[in-house]
């Protein structure tokens, strides 16, 4: 299989000296985190997969999307407790993880885990409404989990009602009043468990229903749920000289999630290219970024 070749330099953010930090530096760190997640999961027999933008990057580029500023991984909802224990016991000393199982201030409205590189620092653009209360604020890979959901998209969207209803209160307490909304967090986790058990045998899966903004931005999101056979079993793919797991059919996943418009295309010379316009190739999360080693 051939892939897009893009060696352009993309600016991810500025460091504390107002110097530009580019994708080449940031991607070296993201790769370190992904390889560490792979090591920990293999050691503890926990299935994982590169997901969302990372699986699209794997299909289009055989690596990270050149202008991306983080990585995405999924595990199964029912493996989450084993994953916590594996990270506690085996995560390397250059890394740290955050989730609400270990940090009661962790925001449940964002991906379930963040695996971070200790020797770095970022200030995110959404730090007011979704603040990071964790001690380490380094470059990260998001880890979410997939759970069964209804095959009917209308019914699936109805399941977001609770998190959408509670999100304004959570943001008010957490982001503006600096109070710990522990009761909201507890309610969301109970609701999540209920839905996961109810649809555990469904033929469709998606990320947890307590993340309220999965439909945004609408111009990039085609579908919210995916046939189970597209996702499982996870398969190995070549990724910067190593074998890394992703979905069973990353082409079909990318088509369902982002649409045909996001997939690589052939030009008149038989070379693959990305149809996304150059002006739209921007990183989304980071305002300030520092890498110390």
What digits encode the pLDDT tens for the residues 167-188?
999 989 988 888 889 999 999 9
Residue 79: band (very low, low, confident or very high) from pLDDT cuts 50, 70, 90:
very high
Residue 87: band (very low, low, confident or very high) from pLDDT cuts 50, 70, 90:
very high
* Structural contact between residues 205 and 225, judged by C-beta atoms closer than 8 angstroms: yes
Q: Domain ranges for the chain, please list them.
A: 11-291
Mean pLDDT for the stretch of residues 252-273: 95
The pTM score is 0.95
Q: Which of 146-155, 247-256, 264-273, 278-287 has the lowest mean pLDDT?
A: 278-287
The answer on pLDDT for 10 being more than 90 is yes
pLDDT of residue 128: 61
Rounded Cα distance between 224 and 72, Å, is 16
φ, ψ for residue 81, nearest 5 deg = -70, -40
């Amino acid at each position: 299989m051939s892939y897009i070749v893009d060696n352009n330099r993309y600016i991810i953010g500025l460091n504390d000296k107002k110097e530009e930090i580019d994708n080449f530096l940031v991607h070296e760190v993201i790769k370190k985190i992904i390889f560490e997640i792979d090591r920990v999961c293999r050691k503890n027999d926990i299935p994982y997969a590169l997901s969302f933008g990372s699986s699209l990057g794997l299909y289009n580029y055989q690596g990270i999307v050149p202008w991306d500023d983080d990585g995405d991984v999924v595990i199964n909802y029912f493996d989450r407790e084993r994953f916590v224990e594996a990270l506690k016991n085996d995560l390397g000393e250059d890394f740290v993880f955050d989730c609400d199982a270990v940090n009661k201030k962790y925001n449940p409205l964002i991906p379930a885990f963040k695996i971070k590189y200790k020797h770095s620092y970022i200030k995110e653009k959404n730090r007011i409404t979704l603040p990071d209360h964790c001690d380490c604020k380094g470059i990260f890979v998001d880890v979410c989990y997939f759970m069964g959901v209804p095959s009917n998209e209308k019914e699936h969207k109805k399941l977001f009602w609770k998190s959408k209803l509670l999100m304004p209160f959570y943001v008010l307490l957490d982001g503006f009043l600096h109070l710990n909304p522990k009761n909201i967090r507890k309610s969301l986790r109970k609701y999540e468990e209920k839905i996961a058990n109810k649809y555990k045998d469904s033929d469709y899966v998606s990320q947890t229903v307590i993340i309220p903004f999965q439909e945004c931005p609408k111009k990039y999101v085609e579908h919210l749920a995916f046939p189970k056979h597209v996702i499982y079993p996870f398969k190995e793919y070549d990724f910067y000289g190593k074998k890394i797991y992703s979905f069973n059919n990353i082409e079909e996943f990318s088509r369902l999630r982002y649409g045909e418009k996001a997939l690589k295309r052939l030009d008149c010379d038989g070379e693959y290219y990305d149809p996304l316009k150059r002006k739209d190739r921007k990183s989304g999360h980071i305002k300030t970024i520092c890498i110390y080693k």
